[in-house]
A and B are shown apart, each in its own frame.
Chain A
């Protein structure tokens, strides 16, 4: 079930209710979080199990392959 490709997450903040369910299900080590009670969005996830996307009650987490990330970190996001 695990995809080997590291992914980077994009959270639709407009729908996010900051409920923390994605953090609760996440098997990453401590600290893989954002300041808005979600999983981290500023660095790639190498586990890429995508459980966070599955649990989200409002279906607002999307991912893209992190390897394609050639732009500087500051340019990520919308």
Chain B
């Protein structure tokens, strides 16, 4: 019979959950992490782009186990195919490159392997992990702890914990369990679809295509995927189009300035998901509960990137919990606001700023003006001088 009493119970073993778990366990807490899936990261709902800096800051060593391809910069396109390139191999040739002593700017990772790798690192730090285990709810108990209700291989199990961490991703239910306001506006959730393809050349850059014509409310992308493969995708805001992402993606592939480049592409995988281009949740904690990662909307509202923010948030959450629990501080809602304050000062305030920039752009109803604003903002965002470089 497994031990049914933990310090921390984490629902969801994505990048946010595994990173929280690893930092908490390294500090000596007893941690159980559960995930309802049988294979982490699958089906893939992510393009997998993450900066090297983001990995290193969360003590994740870049490993061939999960890396598809190294990235050296960005190319941002306007609607007609004019582009701004920030190739760090040229901008800072001594630092960035594939040669000896040089490093990549970032990576495209395989989420199946990345998530499994992060879970393994957590397990090696002492975390217990249960797969095929779904979180169903939790109840704070009079002793100041809480009981978490789980279903594992069809069996209902209650586990006692001091605190539950909701790291259950975009479709998060944990926040709803506690009655938090977690709703995303339809104008702020991008519906995304992407194909892994063979037969499309890439050049070590993340390519981002702006323009209402191709991806209303979002953008399209072409990422290198290793082994000569590429990833072509886009996200759209439902209120700005009458068509689903699927139709936009087909049109982008057949009608855009990239039509010739994509003409011989063969689709190897179909992936998709939702990306909140939204603000972080205003309240990310409740009695005996904190949220981290997509569950707390820790997503960059300009780029839609949520991997960096998931592992950064996981480190903050894990470190916060180790201090808070070691000091035996109370775990009711008001005492946990310190977690959110910590997160805000480390990354959250910048995310709110990005949200304001993004909101300004999309409040402009003039499509041509909005397109050029988005192109300029994206081009600037990825430049070496961007104030947001580290998000």
Contact = CB atoms under 8 A, between A and B. Distances in A.
Interface of B: prevailing SS? mixed
Contacts, number: 77
Contact of B171 (A24, A56, A58, A59): A24
Contacts of B192: 21, 57
Contacts of B136: 31
Given A21-B272, A24-B276, A51-B186, A57 B191 contact: yes
Given A19-B273, A20-B171, A27 B183 contact: yes
B304 to A, nearest CB: 13
Interface string B35-54: 00000000101000000000
Contact of B173 (A21, A33, A51, A54): A33
Contact of A56 (B43, B45, B137, B191): B191
Interface string B351-381: 0000000000000000000000000000000
Nearest to B134: A35
B359 to A, nearest CB: 18
Interface residues of B, number: 30
B271 interface: yes
Contacts of B342: none
Nearest to A17: B272
A57 B193 contact: yes
| A: interface residue count bin | 20 to 34
Contact of B273 (A21, A29, A51, A54): A21
A1 B163 CA distance: 39
Contacts of B193: 17, 57-58
Interface string B179-206: 0000110100101110000000000000
Contacts of A55: 186, 189, 191, 238, 274
Contacts of B171: 20, 23-24, 33, 37
Contacts of B272: 17, 19, 21, 57-58
A73 interface: no
A25 interface: yes
A57 B246 contact: yes
Contacts of B186: 25, 51, 54-55
Interface string B241-279: 001111100000000000000000000001111101000
B169 interface: yes
Contact of A57 (B170, B177, B239, B245): B245
A30 B276 CA distance: 19
A58 to B, nearest CB: 5
Nearest to B248: A57
Contacts of B247: 59
Contacts of B80: none
A20 B176 contact: no
B169 A30 contact: no
Nearest to B249: A57
Given A57-B191, A57-B193, A58-B246, A30 B137 contact: yes
Contacts of B274: 19-21, 24-25, 55
Interface in A4-57: 17-21, 23-25, 27, 29-31, 33, 37, 51, 54-57
Nearest to A51: B186
B356 to A, nearest CB: 22
A31 to B, nearest CB: 7
A74 B49 CA distance: 44
A9 to B, nearest CB: 16
Contacts of B238: 51, 54-55
B189 A21 contact: yes
A49 to B, nearest CB: 9
Contact of A17 (B170, B243, B271, B276): B271
Interface of B: 43, 45, 136-137, 169-171, 173, 176-177, 183-184, 186, 189, 191-193, 238-239, 243-247, 270-274, 276
Given A20-B45, A25-B274, 4 more contacts: A17-B270, A19-B271, A21-B170, A57-B273
Interface of A: 17-21, 23-25, 27, 29-31, 33, 37, 51, 54-59
7 contacts: A17-B43, A17-B270, A18-B43, A19-B45, A24-B276, A33-B171, A57-B244
**7 cross-chain pairs, A with B, having the tightest CB-CB distances, nearest first:** A21-B274, A30-B176, A59-B244, A57-B245, A23-B171, A20-B171, A54-B238
